């Protein structure tokens, strides 16, 4: 059953000067991108902890590339969903609005979100591990087997953040600043298991933000939230936007 949006939450959102939407794989699930850890995820066989790290890539680059080529193809063929679009609608209304995403699928930007901090990189970019030359997806998807650098012959890898790697410092710093300045922080479609990203909701709450979680399943963070809206983001976010717009007209 869908939770109703309380008038109190709608009013908070309508009156907020600064809102952060922190998103994970669940936001893209309704577009057709499998989540990492869900029971229905197609990565039940390949866990991200086993493939998304440098050790796995150096040991078996063909296998890791097979995983990424498959995901690049899925992502190129899908579209943002009603959840992504509702966040674009919120950004048009709220004075300061930022999306902080752990997703690499570029769907927030494709939907039209303008302030987007990508903590774990972007699957549309790739680079040579030796000389740093940047590549789009054309070369890597047309390559037979493991893509090699046309400039130096080095190994090309996806421009994403693997376990044990630092997050991009500028994106992380901007995300922390946005979290610390938020009146309201929405944590949407993330299992809240992967750090340091998972610390952002609590950083925001400790700095005074009202913390709301949207997820069909509870997470380790649920007990700490101020409100938990149980359900899919593609349904709940449009409801939230509609109730916020209603509250604004009543002010
Ligand atoms: C829906 C829905 C619908 C479904 N609507 N919702 C011990 C303790 C603490 C930390 C560590 C530790 N040991 C190691 C660490 C550090 C490690 C870490 O956090 N590990 C944990 C697993 C324990 N972190 C790192 O290594 C990070 N770097 C770092 O710490 O640097 C410092 C350092 C440097 C050097 C040495 C040591 C430290 C880097 C983390 C990089 C994560 N990378 C990945 C892969 C990216 C590339 C790729 O995609 O291939 O990022 S892993 C993967 O997990 C991906 C995701 O962004 C990330 C988070 O997953 P997310 O988005 O939460 O997805 P799911 O599937 O887990 O959850 C989906 C949710 O959606 C579920 O809750 C569903 O219910 C819900 N849902 N349908 C709404 N319709
Ligand atoms: Zn190179």
3-state SS assignment for residue 44: helix
Which residue carries 């080095």 as its tokens? Answer: 154
Residues with CB under 6 A from ligand 1: 24-26, 29-30, 35-38, 48, 52, 102, 104, 120, 160-166, 189-191, 193-196, 215-217, 219, 232-234
What mean pLDDT do residues 75-82 have?
96
Tell me: the pLDDT tens digits for 120-148? 999 999 999 999 999 999 888 888 889 99
Distances (CA, A) of 71 to 27, 67, 124: 16, 6, 11
* Burial class of residue 2, CB neighbours in 10 A (0-12, 13-18, 19+): exposed
Q: Which of 135, 67, 75, 65 is nearest to 103 (CA)?
A: 75
- The pLDDT of residue 190 is above 90: yes
Say how many Å lie between the CA of residue 194 and the centre of ligand 1. 3
pLDDT over 70 for what percent of the chain? 96
Q: Choose the residue to mutate in 22, 24, 31, 55 for probing ligand 1, maximizing ligand atoms within 8 Å of C-beta.
A: 24
> With 70 as the cut, is the pLDDT of residue 37 above it?
yes
Which atom belonging to ligand 1 lies closest to the Cα atom of 23? 62
Residue 120: active-site member = yes
* Tokens, residue 177: 């600043």
What spacing in Å lies between the alpha carbon of 129 and ligand 2's midpoint? Answer: 7
Structural domains of the chain, ranges and CATH numbers in brackets: 7-32+80-120+167-249 (3.40.50.1220), 41-77+127-160 (3.30.1600.10)
pLDDT of residue 44: 60
134-135 sheet: strands from edge to edge: 134-135, 121-128, 156-160
Helical pair 82-93 and 233-250, crossing angle rounded to 10 deg: 30
| Helix/strand number for the chain, H first, E second | 11, 9
Of 201, 197, 189, 215, which is closest to residue 34 (Cα–Cα)?
Answer: 189
């Amino acid at each position: 059953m869908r939770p109703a949006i309380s008038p109190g939450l709608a009013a908070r959102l309508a009156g907020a000067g600064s809102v952060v939407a922190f998103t994970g794989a669940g936001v893209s699930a309704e577009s057709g991108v499998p989540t990492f850890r869900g029971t229905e995820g197609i990565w039940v066989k390949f866990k991200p902890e086993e493939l998304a790290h440098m050790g796995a890539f150096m040991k078996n680059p063909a296998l890791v590339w097979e995983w990424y080529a498959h995901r690049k193809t899925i992502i190129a063929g899908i579209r943002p969903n009603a959840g992504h679009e509702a966040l674009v609608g919120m950004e048009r209304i709220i004075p300061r609005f930022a999306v902080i995403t752990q997703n690499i699928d570029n769907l927030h930007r494709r939907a039209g979100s303008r302030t987007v901090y990508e903590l774990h990189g972007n699957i549309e970019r790739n680079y040579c591990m030796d000389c740093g030359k940047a590549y789009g997806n054309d070369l890597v998807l047309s390559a037979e087997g493991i893509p090699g650098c046309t400039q130096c012959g080095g190994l090309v890898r996806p421009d994403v953040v693997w376990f044990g790697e630092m997050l991009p410092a500028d994106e992380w710093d901007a995300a922390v600043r946005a979290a610390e300045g938020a009146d309201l922080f929405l944590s949407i479609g993330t299992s809240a298991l992967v750090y340091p990203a998972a610390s952002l909701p609590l950083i925001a709450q400790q700095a005074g933000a009202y913390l709301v979680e949207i997820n069909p399943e509870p997470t380790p963070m649920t007990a700490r939230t101020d409100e938990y809206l149980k359900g899919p983001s593609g349904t709940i976010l449009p409801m939230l936007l509609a109730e916020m717009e209603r509250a604004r007209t009543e002010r």
